[in-house]
Chains A and B, each alone.
Chain A
Amino acid sequence: MISVRDLQKNFGDVQLFKGVSLEVEKGQAIVLIGPSGSGKSTFLRCINGLETFHGGEIIVEGTVLHPVGGNRPSRQDADEIRKVRRKTGMVFQHFNLFPHLTVLENIILAPVEVLGVKKEDAVRHARSLLERINLNGKEGSHPGQLSGGQQQRVAIARALAMKPEAMLFDEPTSALDPETVGEVLSVIRGLVEEGMTTLIATHEMGFAREVAHKVIVFDEGEIIESGPPEEIFTYPKKERTRNFLSRVLRL
């Protein structure tokens, strides 16, 4: 359902991706791990069209993103990017909720303005999403009044309100207090169990091991190893994977 083929991406003169490929099946939960600066965020952002790239292609459910390098995408490319964004929901490390809107307004803004959903329908859907993330009663609050964990759950609901076919999570729990990490992870776990296609960049190794169908290890802009979690975590083939895991698991 998502295929990344021979992806190349530069930042200025520095080439980060020298040809990365990945196939994601429908319903698959893929966890991206790897040292800081290895390219996990950039990879997800490319799929969501937030970063342009310089070579290869990304196909999401038949819609193709082309490399445009550092240029502004043409009108046609911009349309394709928006189509892809409607199919993939993105959740950011720092939530990026709209602080001037209430929880409910955050959730219904895009369905109403982008998809043209009737407001009553959007509100009804938003309420059912809030129930699902255990936040009913908070629809009138502003993001600033919520804890980090609550904000991140609203951000997930906001992405789900667009009825995406896949969800991209970029370190969804890294900015959270330890006691609220669990509530966010359990919402994600629920999504995976329902069969949502998910890509998650995370440093939570326990969680990765538990929910991932497949673990991808990034290092210096390359996928150095991939496979089922029990294999990666117990018998890593690569020296670099072993080093990385021993470093993070010791912490």
Chain B
Amino acid sequence: MRWFLKIISLLAVLVSIVYLGHHSHSSQSTLQKIQKRGYLLWGSDAEGGAPYVFPDPHNPLKLIGFEQDIAGDIAKQLGVKAVQSQNAWDSLIPALERGDFDMAMNGIEITPQRSRKVLFSIPYYVYSEQLVVRKDNTDIKGMADLKGKRVGTLSGTVAAEMLYRMGGVNVKIYSGQVEPYQDLALGRLDAVLLDLPIAAYYAKPNPALKFAGPPVGEGLYAIAMRKGDAEFKQKIDSIIANLIRTGELKRIYQKWGIWNDNQKKLYDSAAQTGYVGLNESRSAPIAGFLPMLLKGAAITVAISASSMMLAIGLGLVLTLLRLYAAQPLSSLATAYVEVYRGTPLLIQLYILYYGLPNIGISLAPVMAAFLGLGMNYAAYESELYRAGISAVPQGQMEAALSLGMTRGLALRKVILPQAVRIALPGITNDFIALFKDSSLVSIIAMVELTKTYSILAASTLRFFQFGLITAFMYFVMSYPLSLLARRLERKLKGAK
């Protein structure tokens, strides 16, 4: 009971550190850093990201979208290349604050709350909200008809705020921009209110849906930068002003079909080029997306294998501490195992990646994924070893000791080799589980197989085909391991 209280208070301290802590940035300016490394790192979410930023259906390893174009232009003016950093949309601002990238550009609306946290550039797009309903719907013609209706939108957006402020609307909050339109088509929603570029890409090509009334509300998208990056902001502002003046922005917006008269508030000149629409994404051959999925699979394998190594090593250390170390150490090791087994892996990953920066420790996504999975599974491996060791008969240790061996030597040469043999099928099964759990690291900006799947599926709406292909890829990789585990189990039974 007392150790339980200790753990609780430890957790409380941890949580308060995570939430109250503030952090600082290195003295080098962002502009200098960009020049030195040779590329501009910009944060955005390519999952369900069309037409902002999403994988090119013709070459899915490449990202396209109007923001991808803008980022490319900005980088060109800075004399460097643009590199996208993949992040969940909700976590763009925290990730910017922790210094994961130089700037965030992803349909981020200027709001008073956000202005308190970040520095906004001058706006690069005037967005408005578009109401979408089913084709057969006749009673919703505008915002005024929404009372008592089920209306879908995205979490944390201005559209959501508008709906809440109207009152009397049954607001359904989504985290992806594809799902609300799907639910609308299926009759689970009566209407969807989202930013016009989203509606233009996802809803317009859908024959089951139609726009209801003209766009409403008006707001500004701007690039978010860290407070204190004033010099960088000035540079970005002058670049955007330049893009507006030269008509480059208009060219981009027309190419993506999101140009409207509202944008005149930003500039006037005009030009016309090609544009990738949803129907094109939908019909591109599946084979073209395979390289991207294979790349995701390779990252999944690499992350799983390396964190399993960590789990196996750390698990052994934990077991030895628990079984043979003196008091404070052995209890600490036991507490480690209990805490890691008793809390969700997802929370552990969040704390590692988003929490630690608050106390000054900033881990790269790969590092956080490796440590997060490895440290979690170490707890499970430790349990397996402990079971393995206690399954070795007492007489083995006695025989080794009676031959003059020290405990350590007996452990190394006699007990552990037998314990490992006993634990091996379980370890193999855990590896399979870890392999599948590795999909969780997609929440910390790792683009592995599952994340690749959701990015592709959301930009092409082919959830089913890509889902089957991705599931098949996981299966092909994990099935041999299952066979191995079963063989090891049989061998162990045979040896007894």
Give A residues with C-beta under 8 Å from B. 48-50, 82, 85-86, 89-90, 92, 94, 96-100, 109-110, 113-115, 144, 155, 158-159, 162
Contacts and interface: CB of A to CB of B under 8 A. Distances in A.
Chain B contact patch, size range: 10 to 19
Interface string B395-439: 110111111111001000110011001000000000000000000
A99 B399 CA distance: 12
Contacts of B406: 82
Given A98-B414, A100-B417, A162 B403 contact: yes
B417 A159 contact: no
A100 B409 CA distance: 15
B476 interface: no
B394 to A, nearest CB: 9
Contact of A114 (B399, B404, B414): B404
B413 A113 contact: yes
B401 A50 contact: yes
B468 interface: no
B418 A162 contact: no
Contact of A96 (B399, B405, B409, B413): B399
Nearest to B420: A100
Given A92-B398, A114-B403, A162-B403, 15 more contacts: A48-B402, A49-B401, A50-B402, A82-B404, A85-B403, A94-B395, A96-B393, A100-B417, A100-B421, A109-B403, A110-B400, A110-B405, A115-B404, A158-B403, A159-B403
Interface of B: 393, 395-396, 398-406, 409, 413-414, 417-418, 421, 495
A159 B417 CA distance: 21
A113 B399 contact: no
Q: 3 tightest CB-CB pairs across the interface, nearest first?
A: A96-B399, A110-B403, A90-B402
Nearest to A168: B402
- Which one of A94, A110, A144 has the greatest number of beta carbons of chain B within 10 Å? A110
Contacts of B404: 82, 85-86, 110, 114-115, 162
A114 B396 contact: no
Contacts of A82: 404, 406
A36 to B, nearest CB: 19
Nearest to B398: A50
A97 B402 CA distance: 12
A100 B414 CA distance: 8
- Which one of B398, B399, B409, B413 has the greatest number of beta carbons of chain A within 10 Å? B399
A114 B399 CA distance: 14
Nearest to A93: B395
Contacts of A49: 401
Contacts of B400: 98, 110
A58 to B, nearest CB: 15
A110 B495 CA distance: 24
Given A109-B413, A114-B404, A98 B399 contact: yes
6 contacts: A86-B404, A98-B400, A98-B414, A99-B418, A110-B404, A110-B405
Contact of B395 (A92, A109, A115, A144): A92
Nearest to A94: B395
B420 to A, nearest CB: 9
A92 B495 CA distance: 22
B296 to A, nearest CB: 40
Contacts of A113: 405, 409, 413
A114 B405 contact: yes
Contacts of B418: 98-100
A235 B403 CA distance: 39
A106 B393 CA distance: 16
A153 to B, nearest CB: 15
A144 B492 CA distance: 13
Contacts of A90: 399, 402
B495 A144 contact: yes
B58 to A, nearest CB: 57
A49 B400 CA distance: 12
B395 A96 contact: yes
Contacts of B399: 90, 92, 96-98, 155
